[in-house]
Structure 1
Amino acid sequence: MAARLRIDAVLVQAVIAGALSFAHLHDLAAAAGQDGWKAWAYPVSVDLLLVAAWRRLRSDGPSRLAWCWFVIALFASLGANIATAGFLDLANPPALLRLGIAGWPALAFLGGTLLAHSGGRQQPHPPAPAAPDPAPHTDPAPEPEHLAVREPEPEPESVEQAPALPAADPAPAVPAVLIEHARKVADDHQARTGTRIDTDTLRARLGVPQQLADAIAAQLT
């Protein structure tokens, strides 16, 4: 119950203070030549700008823009309360008061627009994490001997001896009579054809084996 009464008392105090400030602003605007609904619009404009600047300070934190317009709105509200306390002749208001009242709508519109559309405080981007330092290069630890895989040693290649070539058969002995007969055959062949007789033709004419024909041809050269 005590907390409820305390909250209600605060609200009542706020309503009373707001109503008095509202009335003072209305009276000052009316004294400066703003009659009718225009005199009632001035206190609404001043209080709304004050609330907007304070809300900006609460939501986005302290900033020069919010503090600037909060002080301007507070000065306008506080100045109106003081001016209506008998310090100024409201029947004949000074020219500066008329100038301030006439220029307030444009000033309040500028302040409200800046507070509504200016970006809030931007959160700085966290720095990118630094890349970890590469691990120093270390040689791999030698494996234990019982775990190391030993490569099989190459077997010695057996040197195979090349097979011995069969010994060439000795040239057969050619009888002198056969050589003489072969020479006559060769001369006759050269006389008829004009070319020397080859080994195959000589073998065919004599009817001897190839080895013997070679031996005879060697004798004829």
Structure 2
Amino acid sequence: MAARLRIDAVLVQAVIAGALSFAHLHDLAAAAGQDGWKAWAYPVSVDLLLVAAWRRLRSDGPSRLAWSWFLIALVASLGANVATAGLLDLGDVPAWLRILVAAWPAIAFMGGTLLAHSAGDRVPDPPAPAAPDPEPEPAAEQAELDASPAPEVEATPALPAPEPVPSPPTVPAPAVPAALVDHARKVADDHHARTGTRIDTDTLRARLGVPPHLADAIAAQLT
């Protein structure tokens, strides 16, 4: 019952507001020189443009086209209400108001056509902020690392085996005459008798006057 009373009160208020606005628009149009049925057509035109703009706002969402024509019709309705409240002499309407009233049918026709046959420019809704990516848990990261294949390690090429260094050719010991060996032994004994030490290879070579390799061969036979 309360809901029904509230709806009835709203309807009554709408009927009263519509009737008063309708009457004010009629009186203003008649004062501006629009007599007869033309004065009654002006409030119908204003209210229809207002309703068409409001329906466009409700059906297609906010747009500059719908809001512009809604405000134009609202200003025309409120202007008539204010003008007929005693602020304007209806017996002597200014020329600019007569021009505006006379041009209203063309203005209302253009507005209604645009509202009915134009897609308009709907105001886009602001984009919703992107949700931050959730940080992966440490356990999940460790599981991904364990599941990922191990990087392939390139095998180190084997180094080539070092080439064997050839040993120097063995030089055969020169043949030493027995007479030269006997002479060398006498020289060695004499050197030991005089110095008390064994004769070395260099001294033996110098005393015998032989090349180094021959001196080594002789010293080897003296030991």
Matched with 2:57 is 57
What is the deviation of 1:17?
0.3
Alignment of 1:145-164 (within 5 A): none
Partner deviation per Cα, 1:46-91 (whole Å, 9 max, x = no partner)? 0000010011011101100000000000000000000000111000
Partner deviation per Cα, 1:163-199 (whole Å, 9 max, x = no partner)? xxxxxxxxxxxxxxxxxxxxxxxxxxxxxxxxxxxxx
Q: How far, CA to CA, are the matches of 1:96 and 1:51 in structure 2?
A: 26
Matched with 2:87 is 87
What is the deviation of 1:29?
0.2
Q: How far, CA to CA, are the matches of 1:75 and 1:99 in structure 2?
A: 16
Matched with 1:40 is 40
Alignment of 1:1-221 (within 5 A): 1-119=1-119
| Secondary structure, aligned partner of 2:34 | coil
| Secondary structure, aligned partner of 1:34 | coil
What is the deviation of 1:112?
0.2
Q: How far, CA to CA, are the matches of 1:25 and 1:122 in structure 2?
A: 32
In the superposition, relative to structure 1, how do residues 19 and 122 fare at CA in structure 2: closer, same or farther (>3 Å)? Answer: closer
| Secondary structure, aligned partner of 2:93 | coil
Partner deviation per Cα, 1:120-170 (whole Å, 9 max, x = no partner)? 6599xxxxxxxxxxxxxx9xxxxxxxxxxxxxxxxxxxxxxxxxxxxxxxx
Partner deviation per Cα, 1:21-62 (whole Å, 9 max, x = no partner)? 000000000000000000000000000000100110111011
In the superposition, relative to structure 1, how do residues 15 and 95 fare at CA in structure 2: closer, same or farther (>3 Å)? Answer: same
Q: How far, CA to CA, are the matches of 1:49 and 1:89 in structure 2?
A: 27
Q: Which amino acid aligns with 1:55?
A: R
In the superposition, relative to structure 1, how do residues 27 and 122 fare at CA in structure 2: closer, same or farther (>3 Å)? Answer: closer
Q: How far, CA to CA, are the matches of 1:86 and 1:47 in structure 2?
A: 23
What is the deviation of 1:115?
0.1
Q: How far, CA to CA, are the matches of 1:63 and 1:8 in structure 2?
A: 32
Structure 2 alignment gaps of length 5 or more:
125-148, 150-223
TM-score for the superposition, normalised by structure 1: 0.54
Matched with 1:209 is none
What is the deviation of 1:119?
1.9
Q: Which amino acid aligns with 1:22?
A: F
Identity %: 85
Q: How far, CA to CA, are the matches of 1:102 and 1:119 in structure 2?
A: 29
Q: Which amino acid aligns with 1:58?
A: R
- Residues 62 and 123, structure 2, Cα contact 8 Å, conserved in 1: no
